[in-house]
Amino acid sequence: MFFLSTIRMSFSNLRANAMRTFLTMLGVIIGITSILALLTIGQGVTDSVIDQLSGLGGNRVTVTIRNTTVKPGFTDEELERFAHLEGVEGVAPQLSSYHTLTLMPKLTNSKYDGVYTISRRVMGVNDFYFSTYTKNAGMLYGRSISTDDVTHRTNVCVLGYDLWQRLYGNYSPVGEIIKVNNTDCTIIGVMNELVGIDVTGNNSLIVPYTTAVQTFSMGLPDSFDVVINTASETDEVIARVENLCATLLNSAGNNGYSVVNQEEILDMVLTITDLVLGMLAGIAVIALVVGGIGIMNMMLVTVSERTAEIGLRKALGARPSVIMLQFLIEAVIISLFGGIIGVLLGLGASYIASLLIGYTFRFNPMTAMLALLFSLIVGVIFGLLPARRAAKMNPIEALRSS
């Protein structure tokens, strides 16, 4: 009850100097907005990266031949051996190089009347690529590359979303022919737009990797991903993968190949992200501290302006602790309101950022609570000195000043 009267009193005092109060609050607003936006954006990006990778159905390990003069790449049979290791969900080789694509004039749905030639990335993948990496996006038209396509090295292709839009606009090209170098490829499907960290597929023509090796002479894959079954112990599977590498590459020695756990890479990326965000958040905290100093400055001015009032309140029986509480509440109201506005602005900013960068916006109540707690603490810390000064004021001196 007493507390309520004090809060009411504080509000009326702050309203009486609305402009000054707002400008002081601005410091806290800027600080909290930046902290919250950075934390939310950072969390959103991190979550998105983790989602993408965990969406692949388990942990990934990338196997790469270091010295391709010793062994240029892995054959189908070798890849099969990796795929059949215990705890391995599948292997995903990826070949990629630029080739000339030619659209024929007879194609009714093409945007172009004459022979149209364009240079684009051709990616050689297996069916596993579609069942894991692009699973979330799915197919817009037709079907994806099947095991049969890979086994029989069929001349089929799937268009990435951007490439499809570029070449066909809004029409389904399924069943039409596109020339890769000089080979006719039948279009069997169009992928939906990929979002997230690996979006190279969007602007690519995707073919069975066996076709890429044989027909388009893209060479054997010297690198491929092994997707580990979620139920398996990652370290044990990695050991098996490394053993097989050693067997296949014994002539290349220990340094002839590398097996990199994607989780480690992810950890590294996240560590760097955290570091950068941490540094930015540090700067934001400095901004908040500057905001706090603004509060202290304003409160000191307020206390000296209201010397007579403090004296009177003391004469009427206000204990020093009550005077202290009153000024502390005023400081906290400034910082807490600044915090609330900052949280709202920060959430708004990170929502807009989520639309621009393309990660999923998530509201984390903990972050918001933390930001509010932070602003509260700033108010208390920087309100303390002026409040103490007011509490210690001599009532006679204070009354005399009027």
Partner 1 sequence: MPASKPVISLTDITKSYQMGDVHFPVLHGITFTVDAGEFVSVLGPSGSGKSTLMNIIGCLDVPDSGTYMLGHRTVKGLPERTMARIRNRDIGFVFQSFQLLPRISAIENVMLPLIYAKVPRAQRYARAMAELERVGLADKAGNLPRQLSGGQQQRVAIARALVTRPRILLADEPTGALDRTTGAQIMDIFQSLNKEGITVVMITHDHKVASFASRIVYILDGKLYSKEEYEALELGGEG
Binding site for partner 1 (CB under 8 A): 1-2, 5-6, 9, 12-13, 16, 308-309, 312-322, 395-396, 399, 402
Of 292 and 311, nearer to partner 1 (C-beta) is: 311
Of 17 and 96, nearer to partner 1 (C-beta) is: 17
> Can you tell me which residue has the tokens 């902290």?
35
Minimum Å gap between C-beta 394 and partner 1 is 8
Of 5 and 258, nearer to partner 1 (C-beta) is: 5
Minimum Å gap between C-beta 11 and partner 1 is 11
Minimum Å gap between C-beta 34 and partner 1 is 35
Of 71 and 313, nearer to partner 1 (C-beta) is: 313
Minimum Å gap between C-beta 402 and partner 1 is 6
Minimum Å gap between C-beta 6 and partner 1 is 8
Of 60 and 313, nearer to partner 1 (C-beta) is: 313
Minimum Å gap between C-beta 12 and partner 1 is 6
Of 13 and 211, nearer to partner 1 (C-beta) is: 13
Of 251 and 402, nearer to partner 1 (C-beta) is: 402
Minimum Å gap between C-beta 301 and partner 1 is 17
